[in-house]
Structure 1
Amino acid sequence: MLTAVNDFIVARMGETGPLLVIGGLGLMLILVTLPFLLKKEPEPFDKLKQQTRPQARSAAADSREGALRRASDRNDKLNKFAHFLEPQDKEQMSAARLKMMRAGYRGKNSVRMFHAMQFLLGFGLLLVGMVYTFFVSRTQALDMQDIALSVLMPAAAGYYLPTYWVQRRLQTRQIAITEGFPDALDMMLVCVEAGQSLDQSIARVAKEIGGAYPELAEEFEIVSQEVRAGKERVAVMRDMAERVGLPDITSFVTTMIQSATFGTSIAEALRVYSNEMRDKRVMRAEEKANTLPTKLTLGTMLFTVPPLMVILIGPSIHGVMKAFGG
């Protein structure tokens, strides 16, 4: 009977039919069993809160509760798949959350959303590849290598696309912060020398550079708000250095902490560090200028030398060929 079924599938779908049918059945089983595997049992404390919740409520309270419940429901949809959408190891989870924060995604569910996008894009493009392979196999014969490439390549591209996006976003954000930090440091020095405290200077710099350098302004704004909330300045500055992950910011934070610890002048420390940042900016510009000839060499060889050789040697070759041909 299995032979008859196999012959029927091959007659209907071609030689790749059995493989496509097995893959489709496997995906269907995954879709059916996945909700049961990822189902999360309700917490006993949540059941107790629902049982002890008072019945009489005002309209305003019901409205607020409805908004909170809708937000909670959206989070619960991700919480059901929490053990699947986020690393279970604490170190891996901390590293993933730090990477998302450095890329600018500070939401509570950013890691879960990242892994959810990986799964959805990978699975969706896998289905697209299977459908494409099915229709192509009906018009022409495909070997196993072509089938594997047509199905697995889109799935791999969809799975790694969020990783590439986050990494690219992280690099772009760090470059923007690096470019804006010297100007922000000069403005902070002016504010401190004008008599403002370091906290006031950070808040003022965050307000002034928001249009030109929004990424750096966001970091300074977080520092200002955390200090106003009562968190220790040393811890706030260290958190900023960890969030950004740049050597310049880490050196700045270390300088400010040492200045506050040993009682030295903050204005003097900022002035010295600002001069160092100017020197670093000049060195970066000189480094880019020095690497420019090397980068231009390949383009020059590819697009200049071949036409020049044709112009110089072409007539001679044509004359030789004409002489031997005559």
Structure 2
Amino acid sequence: MSGTDNLFETIAGYLTIRLGKVSLSPGDTVILVVTLAAALLCAFYLWRIGRQEDRRDRLMELRGPVVDRTVREQRPRWYQRIGTMVAASPAVGTAEQQRLLGVLAAAGIRGQGSLSGFVASKLCSAFIVGALFWLLLEWSQFFDGTATIRFAVVLAGMMLGWRLPDFVLSRLAARRRLEVELGLPDALDLLVICAEAGLSLDQAIEQVGVDLRTSSPAVADEFAMTASEMRVLPNRAEALENLIGRTGVPGLRSITATLNQTIRFGTPLAESLRVLAAEIRNTRLLRIEERAARLPVLLTIPLALFILPALMMVVSTPTVLRLSDTMQTNLGAF
């Protein structure tokens, strides 16, 4: 601790001599050194990005006008490139990349640059929260720690900022999962109508994705993605499994099993889907009844802490006052 503090004090004294009238505390020196290091690192990354762009442009010029215009239009932006570099670093790792891709898909965030953009937002959030922690330390009059402690607090703020977008993304994924779960019975009813109208399974799923654009956009988006995968993938059951993996809704497993039986064995689709829609509605009703049955247990603690003391005070206060008056009267008589 003392050796690190002496080092920062030496750097601060050197900067004071070089900068003249400007004096820096050891804590300010730590922040200045870290900021300069981060700026140099970002400048190095931007220099590497610029060199890669120059090489790509020279390659396109050598290839001539045959290059498709979409290659230039789909070039990722600068923050996505930085996010790609950070995602490829050991700070993220392959397993974390796969997890983030799954959560992004569950939240409805897809696209070529979704992962890199999200990692860039995590990096930006880390620097912003770290800067806020540093400002709070500078403006606070009750904290007077050493430079090492201040640096540790700022580092903890950066780690908190790095994890903050994960929390927001998980909340978005949970909200979208709830929207898909609430829209499943209507989607099954529309699938029954499409099946009874003579449409095939692919056409029925695509039509449901079109019809639910207004009432349930999350279900419409997932069904449209499933219909597109059914046209592309050689096995349609794989597209249905991808639907379960993206959403994580338990009710979709029974639906997927029914659709797989229809694909393999040609079983009647309309009647099975009608039964599934009724089961999903009954499951939702049972879940609501279960939550309603837990309300008395959940209200016990607030009742004991807030309502019962006030009730006892209201009931017992007149008796206590009357008893006090009686005792004063009797004592005065003696």
Q: With the length of structure 1 as denominator, give the TM-score of the two structures.
A: 0.80
Whether the 8 Å contact between 2:123 and 2:162 is mirrored in structure 1 is yes
Q: 1:68 to 1:318 in 2, by over 3 A?
A: farther
- The reply on whether 1:52 has 2:62 as its aligned counterpart is yes
Shift in Å at residue 68 of structure 1?
5.0
What is the number of residues matched between the two proteins? 313
Q: 2:242 aligns with which of 239, 244, 251?
A: 239
* Residue 99 (structure 2) aligns with: 95
* Residue 121 (structure 1) aligns with: 125
Q: 1:225 to 1:33 in 2, by over 3 A?
A: closer
Q: 1:141 to 1:287 in 2, by over 3 A?
A: closer
More off after superposition, 171-180 vs 239-248 = 239-248
* Residue 190 (structure 2) aligns with: 187
CA distances 1:151-210 after superposition (whole Å, capped 9, x unpaired): 456534432221111010011011111111012112211221232222222222222222
| Distance in 2 of aligned mates of 1:267 and 1:87 | 50
| Distance in 1 of aligned mates of 2:76 and 2:173 | 30
Shift in Å at residue 219 of structure 1?
0.6
Whether the 8 Å contact between 1:86 and 1:112 is mirrored in structure 2 is no
More off after superposition, 211-220 vs 315-324 = 315-324
State the superposition RMSD in angstroms: 3.7
* Residue aligned with 2:271, SS: helix
Superposition pairs for residues 1-326 of structure 1, below 5 Å? 17-36=25-44, 39=48, 42=52, 46=56, 49-54=59-64, 65=69, 68-69=71-72, 71-74=74-77, 77-86=79-88, 89-137=93-141, 142-143=144-145, 147=150, 151=154, 154-229=157-232, 231-318=234-321, 323=327
Whether the 8 Å contact between 1:86 and 1:115 is mirrored in structure 2 is no
Q: 1:215 to 1:122 in 2, by over 3 A?
A: same
| Distance in 2 of aligned mates of 1:80 and 1:159 | 15
Using the aligned pairs only, state the percent identity: 25
Whether the 8 Å contact between 1:227 and 1:236 is mirrored in structure 2 is yes
Shift in Å at residue 25 of structure 1?
1.3
* Residue 3 (structure 2) aligns with: none
More off after superposition, 36-45 vs 205-214 = 36-45
More off after superposition, 87-96 vs 159-168 = 87-96
Whether the 8 Å contact between 2:82 and 2:116 is mirrored in structure 1 is no
Aligned amino acid, residue 236 of structure 1? A
Whether the 8 Å contact between 2:27 and 2:151 is mirrored in structure 1 is no
CA distances 1:101-138 after superposition (whole Å, capped 9, x unpaired): 1011102222222221111111122123223322435x
| Distance in 2 of aligned mates of 1:291 and 1:236 | 38
Structure 2: runs of 5 or more not aligned: 1-5
Whether the 8 Å contact between 2:82 and 2:120 is mirrored in structure 1 is no
Shift in Å at residue 214 of structure 1?
0.8
Aligned amino acid, residue 26 of structure 2? P
| Distance in 1 of aligned mates of 2:96 and 2:169 | 16
Q: 1:158 to 1:141 in 2, by over 3 A?
A: closer
Aligned amino acid, residue 22 of structure 1? V
* Residue aligned with 1:158, SS: helix
